[in-house]
Amino acid sequence: MTQINDGVLTILGESIKPGESKEVNFDVANLHTSTPVNVPVIVERSKKPGPTVLFTAGIHGDEVNGVEIVRQLIAKGINKPKCGTIICMPVINIFGFINLKREFPDGRDLNRVFPGSPSGSLAGRVAHKLINQVVPHVDLIIDFHTGGSGRFNAPQLRYSKENKELNDLAKVFGAPFVLYSKNLSKSFRTTCYKLGKPLLLFEGGKSFHIDDVVTNSGVNGSKRILKHLGMLKTVFKSSKPKKACVFINESKWQRAKYSGMFKAAVTMGSHVEKDAILGNITDPYGKFNYFVRASHTGYIINVNESPIVYQGDALFHISTKLKK
């Protein structure tokens, strides 16, 4: 990683010297009430030169657990680096967050409009500003997400395979799983990849939910990365992960054979054998009870926690092929 920040950092129109802290505003548009809306960017700089790390969350306005992870990094002072610079953006899609929605007010998914445009949709303008005014200053990005619509993700890092730098960083981070997944078109991750900026995407938990195991996995992983980069202050303890992380090459969603009421009966992150009972689907009248059995052997990395499912709904995300 390059180390670029031994001088004054000029970001979003503000100049920040080594040793300074500043909250900078990433404002793009007012609310429909013409109320100004702040999108705080919290910048902490050490006097000692070092790398610049960006922590982002809330690209999806319903993914509150990611916001909680970045909030804890700030509230605990973990974002005050021993060397270099730490930039935190806890809620990027503030419009979605205010409206309790995943998307922007016009229904756009911010993570499908990158790299954006200065004259495009509101989401596109936010994407453009992030890519052009924040990302050029940073050496590493950690972006926090959760599963969507009631589907609970075991804490996992995601990136496309064949990347030694990210593999090494992922081992340091120590989430229980790494899932190799293709870069999606027009996502933040893809754009950063094209710009040569390493990005670790963390997925854990589900929308509109805060889970302590997920939060701790995100906070502890961030501390390990900062320690690895020499940026974690000595007051913070950073322990090695209890288990080595499992690298997953391929995975498959197991879908519901029937519509009905659904209850999972499997521990998140556990390893299951083919045909093991994972849960059951029932009808409301006590006449029907179908046991969902594992279609194949693997690790359970996502569980649908919705009490009602339709035939074809994704129930369990199970690993099919591990990295050798």
Q: Which of residues 281-320 bind Zn ion (CB under 5 A)?
A: none
Q: Which two tokens stand for residue 207?
A: 């929308």
**3-class DSSP state for residue 27?**
coil
Given the rule CB under 5 A, which of 27-35, 54-62, 71-79, 256-264 is the region that contacts Zn ion? Answer: 54-62
- Residue 102 or 223: the one with the smaller Cβ distance to Zn ion is 102
Minimum distance of Zn ion from residue 192's CB (angstroms): 15
Minimum distance of Zn ion from residue 89's CB (angstroms): 14
Q: Contacts with Zn ion: how many residues (CB under 5 A)?
A: 3
Interaction of residue 206 with Zn ion, rule CB under 5 A: no
Given the rule CB under 5 A, which of 55-63, 175-183, 207-215, 272-280 is the region that contacts Zn ion? Answer: 55-63
Given the rule CB under 5 A, which of 143-151, 188-196, 228-236, 275-283 is the region that contacts Zn ion? Answer: 143-151
- Residue 145 or 158: the one with the smaller Cβ distance to Zn ion is 145
Coarse DSSP helix, strand, coil percentages of the chain, rounded to the nearest 5 percent:
20, 30, 50
DSSP string, 109-124: -GGGSTT--TTS-HHH
Query: What pairing do the DSSP bridges indicate for beta strands 314-322 and 246-255?
Result: antiparallel
Interaction of residue 60 with Zn ion, rule CB under 5 A: yes
Minimum distance of Zn ion from residue 9's CB (angstroms): 28
Largest CA distance in the chain: 71
Given the rule CB under 5 A, which of 62-70, 78-86, 227-235, 253-261 is the region that contacts Zn ion? Answer: 62-70
Q: Tell me how far apart the alpha carbons of residues 166 and 56 are, in angstroms, rounded to a whole number.
A: 17
For 92, how many CA atoms within 13 A lie in the half-sphere containing its CB?
Answer: 32
Using the rule CB under 5 A, which residue among 108, 145, 158, 223 binds Zn ion? 145
Minimum distance of Zn ion from residue 236's CB (angstroms): 27
Minimum distance of Zn ion from residue 143's CB (angstroms): 8
For residues 134-168, one letter each, b for 16 or more C-beta atoms within 10 angstroms of the residue's C-beta and e for the rest, the string is bbebbbbbbbbbbbeebbbbbbbbbbeeeeeebbe
- All residues at 6 or more sequence positions from 75 whose CB lies less than 8 Å from its CB, including other chains: none
Minimum distance of Zn ion from residue 165's CB (angstroms): 23
What are the residues binding Zn ion (CB under 5 A)? 60, 63, 145
